[in-house]
Structure 1
């Protein structure tokens, strides 16, 4: 039987050969941001909530139906190859992992040129680094890329982006990355401009007259996060081969293509919303993404749904994860969002909060640990105190020693008895290299093992190493690396420690400044389409407020779990309000919603216990609402928000509305005048809108009578 008119034979699809989807995974970060740790172990093999970073990336690629992965490794290549050879990934059906090794590449550009020479890519492929965590559904982005390719062969790349914290202060708090500016065509999603502050961009974005003349409809963003997940055509590899000055994927390749008028190649964007994707670029993003994993934003890639049974953990109340064979004293206190690894022991009266403990760790009595990442086989003796630090495998802290916030202890370092390690210090058994290459792309020690023998170094007098041994106290062992004045000024930006108060205020003031868009020869201005000119639909405004509300909730919960000062939370909320251009009342209702949700999520077994939870939360955090309740109307907005919560399906607040209203009145959150005005406004409303006013009749009557007595 012949084909239908205008179509292909019915069995044509069956005759087409299957083309497997491939991925290139760069197992080298080509940076020094994780020194001194990465002098001994490759970044992709570092534990992230007790699972290797590369396992998250490979697990996502497998879930996205990628069939062949080519892992490029250079620094510490033997460690990576050995790990993968013993991993479960070599045994997965329909999923092959092949390593490509080179000891000479010094950049991502060099890696892609070598892969091109191997001729292993013959179609579209995914380009990703082995320090990326994602759970996004890839199909839609892939389909969009293929559809564009059919219409335009110059559409060589699709970058995955995500709505980010739209202000500098919250971005620095979350990922420690530089502020990123993108210009995107709002209709086609083509990327037109890409710049970050690392390129000396200081709050001003300058667009050339010719650029604006060629692009009559543009959308300027500083609220997008680059996920570093790219869908590429095979031409991308040949472009690197043709241009040897392309070293960095973004700074050289992306920006190079955007300004190249001759070849006409195009890059497009695909924005994800509910999905998760982020790259571990520095210690701060390591901290943030670890918290996201523990709080299950990355589901199904979470601790209780692990990649192997050997390190799986059980989820308990309050976000606590416990692996097997743990020995814990009855008097020890394990706080919220904490992971305790297999075979670890915890002594009496020890407190562990918001931390990850690896396998085989020995923690003594009267130890205080907060916001730390303690890897495998670490020993912490009695009376130690440590906050917001990273301790690599084999570290020993002798009794009564202290780690100030931001400390990094590399492998097998020993901190002496009673010794206090200063803030932001980095200690290693390896001496500090004196002469570091100025190129950001380099991260190399010994290519085979990564370990520089200290004895050989000292005997040979290698001029590239610093030999000043800093005493780590009685019985201590290791070098404390010095920090230059320039690096010290920026150390807080990439640290696992909370941002210092002085820097937080500085960031907030910067966030208040409006972004300036300067046009060279300013007689030409961008012509924006209706959406960009401010005529947003009701749905778009509603969606934006929902995003704002989620941002406020995340900010509030971080403040609760990390015990952030109220003033710091208010600074972040103010920054978000300015970024979204919303009113004070929006902040009040969003914060109130976050508090009530926290009380609802806190375990309770009766309505009375729920009211007690609300009382505890409001007593502790109610002061956050005060700056945003400037008048009666603001307080009424909070009451209306509470009504909305009570009307949600299955919400437990409806039966206790009156009790909580009375509590808010007693705590001076809602004033008498606001409650009476709220009741008056409901007088002529439909019966369905008067449910909670009727429920509160006796309380409202009491307020009226009290008011009359005062008069």
Structure 2
């Protein structure tokens, strides 16, 4: 017999397991600004409807989906309304998602809020800092991991800011969210934030970067093409810093900029850029409009009108981005256009037309009403013959027959507009009189909202700058006069010698070069960003019926910002048109061809403005080949038919088609698929001139 087996001895070591820290978030349910007045004198911003759902629901739904387990909701202005709403909602009854409210009646800034939360001693580790007017679908996994790994190596790395690529609009010197251009300097190797300025020092974009930033770095990246998503991953030290520095009131203007210039404490802020995910904050009426459209266009999926989450109703998605809730009463002669949302129980009368708008619950809309690009909240009555364009109408408003709202109007709660009365552009009307002093921010949001109910409404006066801020922050399209002013500025910029004094969208500054020598950073996503911007511009033109000249001006500004050629614009615009045509309902190849022909005919001037040369026309043909092979294979069998339509419409000239054929002769067989398909048409083009000459002889 062999030696006896040794008995297995289990050795255990006592290892003290550290308790797992729950991922926490601080949600500021107060914006500490006055940009949504007069509405926010009566209701807190986070409870305002965004595509018929209170804003705060989008933020809470995202936090829950992103793995946050405990949220502290800081309530200040109208705190009782926020607390009451949350108590009646399903958020406070979630098993793995804790929502706790913290109330304050004395805080007038984000700094005050964070100081109070620090005193409560509820934050146990790294936390997410966000405001209740933010919409996102990003994952937190990567940014949290980056933040924690940095913290292990460097305890001074106390904050990571989420940013996103968002081209500023050169026409209006603002982003599509209506905010000022944001200038950043970032270390390209570590993503450390070195400089942050939310307003340019000069209209020409000249920045004064401290040479000390380059002392220990081979280069820094300069950007004015980034969007601050206002989603921050913070270490607990952030709260203590607010307590130690009572000058810190504003998160960006005071805290971030204060840390960047403080050489003594040595704390560091880093950035995390998202690319395919969505994140945006609703800071003004223009961003309210933009984010609403993004939700309807499903950029925010799964936070979209037809997907259930807390506080949403069962909307049904129909063709062309149209959403309908149950129990709607609509006349057969009424027309509901694309990208429109109709709320529960709303009634719509004869011959009424609603386009690119959001209609709330329980509204009564009469006959021969025209609503375009507007936001109608709950229980609104609009009598016969009214016209509304790019307006916001709050709960309980009554518009008497024939009343008109010009672009940019905001009607606060329960306002009554008289019969055939015309409300001028950018007017704000409320049952409450305009406060005399507005220098104490949200302190005035505590004003008694029960007075003035006997009147039909007070028209608030504009700011000292007239309509300057109104048009920048309004839901209305940018006025033509501003377009013309920007066109002149753009033309002046094009005439300037680019000697480095003008900052490109992104550039790299190196210590061994002159401060004015800025080299473009090659970004493999550059083409994709440019095409998406052009597509978004084209879709806005379709939905809002923007004139071709204005669209051309906007695309030209993108061309300048991205340093692109006319051929790039032509290819991107053609791609946008064909993608739009493909997305339009069709039941056969023939109907798809008809749709394409209609789109090309309607927007011919826009496309041909970038097709002056043969090379640009060839670029369009090559782009069409690419679409047929990759992103839009449904067009493949229709290639020759659509090419001939473009020839007949004088979009693509004969010389361009023949040159394309010549260039393909030495190409690989895999690159000759469509040139072979079009050979009969091409041969006809080559022979047609000879037949014409014979007839002339």
TM-score relative to the length of structure 1: 0.91
The CA distance in 2 between the partners of 1:526 and 1:427, in whole Å, is 55
Q: Note the residue ranges of structure 1 that are not aligned, 5 or more in a row.
A: 459-475, 519-523
Secondary structure in structure 1 of the residue aligned to 2:128? strand
Q: In structure 2, the residue corresponding to 1:589 is in which secondary structure?
A: helix
Q: Determine the C-alpha separation between the residues in 2 that align with 1:393 and 1:76.
A: 17
Deviation (angstroms), 1:488: 2.0
- Relative distance call for 1:103 and 1:201 in structure 2 (3 A) is farther
What's 1:222 paired with?
224
Secondary structure in 1 matching 2:207: strand
Superposition deviation, residue 395 in structure 1:
0.3
**Residue 306 of structure 1: CA displacement?**
2.9
1:334 to 333, 336, 352: 336
Taking the TM superposition and a 5 Å limit, the aligned residue runs for 1:335-414 are 335-414=337-416
In 1, Cα distance between the equivalents of 2:589 and 2:92? Answer: 53
Structure 1 CA distance, aligned partners of 2:244 and 2:10? 44
C-alpha change, 1:201 and 1:664, in structure 2 (3 Å) is closer
**What does residue 120 of structure 2 align with?**
118
Distance in 2 of aligned mates of 1:255 and 1:20: 30
User: 1:616 aligns to what?
Assistant: 598
1:585-596 to 2 correspondences below 5 Å: 585-596=567-578
Residue of structure 2 in register with 1:453 after alignment: 451
Q: Cα deviations across residues 450-476 of structure 1 (Å, max 9, x unaligned)?
A: 515238xx9xxxxxxxxxxxxxxxxx8
Distance in 2, matches of 1:82 and 1:605, equals 50
2:404–2:420 Cα contact (<8 Å) kept: yes
Give me the whole-angstrom Cα distance separating, in 2, the residues matched to 1:294 and 1:534.
39
Residue 655 of structure 1 aligns to a residue whose secondary structure is: helix
1:2-27 CA-to-partner distances (Å, cap 9, x unmatched) read 999xxxx9995x92311100000000
Conserved 8 A contact 1:508-1:572: no
Question: In 1, Cα distance between the equivalents of 2:615 and 2:206?
Answer: 38
Inter-CA distance 417–135: structure 2 relative to 1 (3 Å threshold): same
The whole-number CA distance in structure 1 between the counterparts of 2:205 and 2:648 is 46
CA contact (8 A) 1:164 1:171 kept: no
C-alpha contact (below 8 Å) 2:333/2:352 kept by paired residues = yes
Pairing 1:3-152 to 2, within 5 Å after superposition: 15-152=17-154
* SS of equivalent residue, structure 1 residue 207: coil
1:626, distance to aligned residue in structure 2 (A): 1.8
Question: Hey, what's the Cα distance between the residues in 1 that align with 2:392 and 2:182?
Answer: 28
Tell me what 2:473 maps to.
494
Deviation of 1:445 (Å): 3.4
Partner of 1:629: 611
What are the equivalent positions in structure 2 for 1:208-219 lying under 5 Å apart?
208-219=210-221
CA contact (8 A) 2:56 2:133 kept: yes
Counterpart of 1:443? 442
Q: Secondary structure at the match of 1:20?
A: coil
Cα deviation digits, residues 625-684 of structure 1 (max 9, x gap): 122112111111111111111112771111111111110001000001111111111122
CA distance in 1, matches of 2:624, 2:603: 17
Rate the CA distance shift 1:3–1:591 in 2: closer, same or farther, 3 A. Answer: farther
Of the structure 1 ranges 504-513 and 256-265, higher mean CA displacement relative to structure 2 is found in: 504-513
SS at match of 1:254: helix
Which stretch has the larger CA shift, 163-172 or 336-345? 163-172
Which of 641, 645, 653 is the aligned partner of 2:635?
A: 653
Q: 1:201: how far off? A: 7.4
Aligned mate of 1:578, from 544, 560, 563? 560
Distance 1:535 1:494, change over 3 A: closer
Cα 1:606–1:3 change in 2 (3 A) is: farther
User: d(CA) in 1 for partners of 2:403 and 2:600?
Assistant: 37
Tell me the number of residue pairs that the alignment of Structure 1 and Structure 2 aligns: 673
Cα distance between partner residues in 2 of 1:198 and 1:420 = 38
| Cα distance between partner residues in 1 of 2:10 and 2:463 | 73
> Shift of the alpha carbon at 1:709?
3.2
Q: Distance in 2 between matches of 1:646 and 1:633?
A: 20
In structure 2, what is the Cα distance between the partners aligned to 1:276 and 1:528? 37
Partners in 1 of 2:202 and 2:576 — Cα distance? 38
2: distance between equivalents of 1:123 and 1:528? 43
CA distance in 1, matches of 2:175, 2:234: 31
Over 3 Å counting, the alpha-carbon distance change for 1:25 and 1:451 in structure 2 is same
Q: Per-residue displacement from partner, 1:191-242 (whole Å, max 9, x unpaired)?
A: 0000011777762211123333354410000000000000000000000000
With 641-650 and 492-501 compared, the bigger mean Cα shift is at 641-650
Report the 3-state secondary structure (helix = DSSP H, G, I; strand = E; otherwise coil) of the residue aligned with 2:113: helix
After TM superposition, the structure 1 stretch with the greater mean CA deviation from structure 2, 203-212 or 562-571, is 203-212
Mark the CA change 1:68 to 1:376 in structure 2 (over 3 Å): closer, same or farther.
same
Aligned equivalent of 2:653, options 668, 671, 681: 671
Instruction: Look up the SS of the partner of 1:197 in the other structure.
Output: coil
Identify which of 652, 661, 675 aligns with 1:693: 675
- Whether contact under 8 Å (1:446, 1:452) holds in the other structure is no
Contact 2:175 2:181 in 1 (8 A): no
Unaligned runs of 5+ in 2: 1-7, 504-508
Residue aligning to 1:469: none
Structure 2 Cα separation of the partners of residues 198 and 400 of structure 1: 45
Tell me the alpha carbon deviations over residues 106-161 of structure 1, each in whole angstroms, 9 at most, x when there is no partner.
Answer: 10000000100010012100000000000000110000000000000000000000
Q: Is the 8 A contact 1:217 1:527 kept in 2?
A: no
Question: 1-side partners of 2:609 and 2:185: how far apart?
Answer: 35
Give the Cα–Cα distance (whole angstroms) in 1 for the partners of residues 327 and 643 of structure 2: 47
Q: Does 1:233 align with 2:215?
A: no
Is 2:541 the partner of 1:546?
A: no
Partner in structure 1 of residue 180 of structure 2: 178
Q: Which residue of the partner structure matches residue 432 of structure 2?
A: 430
1:280-359 matched pairs, under 5 angstroms: 280-308=282-310, 311-359=313-361
Distance 2:209 2:27 in 1: 34
Q: Deviations over 1:425-472 (max 9, x none)?
A: 0000000112221x5xx123353x8515238xx9xxxxxxxxxxxxxx
1:352 touches 1:369 (CA, 8 Å); kept in 2? yes
Counterpart CA distance in 2 for 1:160 and 1:3 is 48
Q: Deviations over 1:35-75 (max 9, x none)?
A: 00000000000000000000000000001111110011111
Residue 606 of structure 1 is matched in structure 2 by 588
Equivalence for 2:506: none
Quote the residue 1:468 is aligned against.
Answer: none
